[in-house]
Amino acid sequence: MTNSTLEQNIIKNLPADRQEIVEKATRVYTYEEIDQWKKDTFDAIMMDVVRGGLLSIASESKNKLRGECWEHQSNSGSSFYVDFEKGYCKCDGCDDKWANNPAQFLVKRYDLSWDDAVWQINEMSGLVLLKGEYVSEEAKGKRHFLSQRSIVLETIMTLAANEMAVNEEVQNYVKDRGFSDDAVVDLLIEEKIGYIPNNSDKFLKNLIDALIENKDLIPVSVSGEDRKNQAVNLLKENKILNSTGDKLWKNLLGRLVFPWVGCKKDELISLYAREYDNKTPGQKYVSLRNPEFNGERIPAKPTPLGWENVNFDEPIITVEGVFDVLLGQSKGLNCLAWVAFPNNAQI
């Protein structure tokens, strides 16, 4: 059996510098262009597979063909089915729909990671894709929104960690939960915990000032009062402020706060807050209210707390809450917390 060109080159020809490819992108593609690209690329991959000798063809029509699956011993010799018009393939014997787009097929057929499959298709098609996400104006805008939101939340965590570092009462509460002095210091240095005071006017001022100075958030071309206005608007968009837009959201006040990491390990999607003195009004646990981007709730689904520090190749211990996961991980346990955003704590 003769290997196809794709079979020979698919592993060897993955781009060495993917970031350089991204930087060479000259424009964003529309959904219509992407749909056509998916069909054309699927056709090219499947034609390469079947014509290159990887599939013994049993029957063929204009847009469909059947052949022998290479994954199992096929008695009929025709269990593998390709539909070029619909853009998918499957095997009746394996009881598996192999792919509804080219990248999924490459993952299954050549045992590639999703990213490697996407980047291989990028090389074949010339279309720039980022981490398996088809780039459109909407996707580009959402990525910018999430990136800015993460910077805002990271700034809050920095200020909250600084606030807790000078609050002995709050530190003692955390130590009473089983954390050593060194563990508390480590949490503060890594900004995994912080405190927002009830009297938050100074905290809010420091937050706005920090955002104003951040050139990744507000371009240097913006100056004067416009920089402050943009900083305040960022806080409004991310629902950090109250309904009138002049105070921090009340459910954050007088609480310990913790970062909530999203699907990207270096990106925060929300903050998780907990009362500590049994005097704070409202629920014991709250999370930030969820903003929306083009009508989509952000984040759509929460990730497990602490997942970013977990080794998924080892057994994982699931625990109840944020203190459990922080304490467990501080003692070397491979654990995370399957908590969800409290629906009744959001507006």
Q: Regarding predicted confidence, which is higher, 116 or 289?
A: 289
Q: Regarding predicted confidence, which is higher, 85 or 31?
A: 85
Give per-residue pLDDT as tens, 33-70: 556 666 666 666 666 655 555 566 777 777 777 877 76
The predicted model gives 247-252 an average pLDDT of 87
CA distance 209 to 21: 36
Give per-residue pLDDT as tens, 284-315: 888 888 787 777 777 655 678 888 888 878 88
CA distance 128 to 239: 33
Under the banding of pLDDT at 50, 70 and 90, the label for residue 182 is very high
Q: What percent of the chain has pLDDT over 90?
A: 27
126-140, 221-235, 318-332: range with lowest mean pLDDT: 126-140
Whether the pLDDT of residue 332 is over 70: the answer is: yes
pLDDT of residue 131: 39
Contacts of 165 (CB under 8 A, 6+ apart): 171, 188
CA distance 17 to 221: 32
Helix (H) or strand (E) segment spanning residue 57:
strand 57-60
CA distance 289 to 345: 8
Whether residue 122 contacts residue 21, with contact meaning beta carbons closer than 8 Å, is answered with yes
pTM equals 0.61
Whether the pLDDT of residue 172 is over 50: the answer is: yes
Whether the pLDDT of residue 9 is over 60: the answer is: no
Question: CATH 3.90.580.10 spans which residues of the chain?
Answer: 5-133
User: Helix-strand-coil percent breakdown of the chain, rounded to 5?
Assistant: 40, 15, 45
pLDDT of residue 178: 92
Class of domain 5-133 as given by CATH: alpha beta
- Fold of the domain built from segment(s) 138-345: DNA primase DNAg catalytic core, N-terminal domain (3.90.980)
The predicted model gives 316-335 an average pLDDT of 90
pLDDT of residue 60: 75
Whether the pLDDT of residue 177 is over 70: the answer is: yes
pLDDT of residue 40: 66
Structure tokens of 259? 């970062």
Question: CATH 3.90.980.10 spans which residues of the chain?
Answer: 138-345
Mean pLDDT of the chain: 75
Instruction: Give Rg (Cα) of the chain.
Output: 26
pLDDT of residue 15: 46
The predicted model gives 2-18 an average pLDDT of 42
The predicted model gives 12-26 an average pLDDT of 44
Counting DSSP H helices and E strands in the chain, the numbers are 11, 13
Helix (H) or strand (E) segment spanning residue 81:
strand 80-83
CA distance 268 to 260: 6
CA distance 310 to 315: 10
310: phi then psi, degrees, rounded to nearest 5: -95, 140
Under the banding of pLDDT at 50, 70 and 90, the label for residue 2 is very low
